[in-house]
Amino acid sequence: MKKQGKRAVDNLFDFLEIIVMAMFVVVLVFTFVFRTVNVQGQSMQDTLFENDSVISKLLYTPKQGDIVVVNSSVLDNRIIKRIIAVEGQKVEIDNKSAIVKVNGAVLDESYIKCDGSFDDEYFDERYYNKESEVYEYEVPAGCCFVMGDNRNHSTDSRVIGYVPYDEIVGRVLFRFAAGNDEGVGKVD
């Protein structure tokens, strides 16, 4: 009987050790590899909604089209936006037709929420070319150009300027819906 009791206690300690190690690994992973972030505002609708929670991957190389979490020094806030262009690329935005071009090619932006034009209030007039009647941006080294998917309700690179790569916390990988009934899913 004593052997069975000792074996049960040993098994309990083994189980507790496994639980503690698993918790330690989870803490390490969410400290150094992944991070959860809460969506605030409507700038990424209909891709992400207010109060959605997302998991972002840290240690990431910025790529055009990715949704990223940014620690904006200009806004002194954490924001979530889509990368439209990376260093060395030229962005042209026709706000009257809601067409965005990168290096002369029109972006296929089926994900944007827009009524056919972009509001002028979301643009810095310094970038307006009167001849071509478009806003023109040339992304400098070490930076990217970001925009929200809900273009008429997004404070993004059109207003705050280029986002330095070192302000990008990570790429959004996964969404836990809390602000709508869309459910959980991978973010494209």
> Annotated catalytic sites, by residue?
43, 81
Query: Is the distance from CB of 165 to CB of 125 less than 8 angstroms?
Result: no
DSSP state of 140: P
Q: Quick one: CA dihedral 107, 113, 117, 118, positive or negative?
A: negative
DSSP state of 151: G
Element (H, E) at 27: helix 2-32
Alpha helices in 93-176 (DSSP H): 157-160
Q: What is the rounded distance in angstroms from the CA atom of residue 184 to the CA atom of residue 102?
A: 31
Q: What is the rounded distance in angstroms from the CA atom of residue 8 to the CA atom of residue 72?
A: 54
Helix (H, G, I), strand (E, B), or coil: what is residue 139? coil
Q: What is the rounded distance in angstroms from the CA atom of residue 45 to the CA atom of residue 111?
A: 9
Count CA atoms within 13 Å of residue 111 on its CB side.
Answer: 18
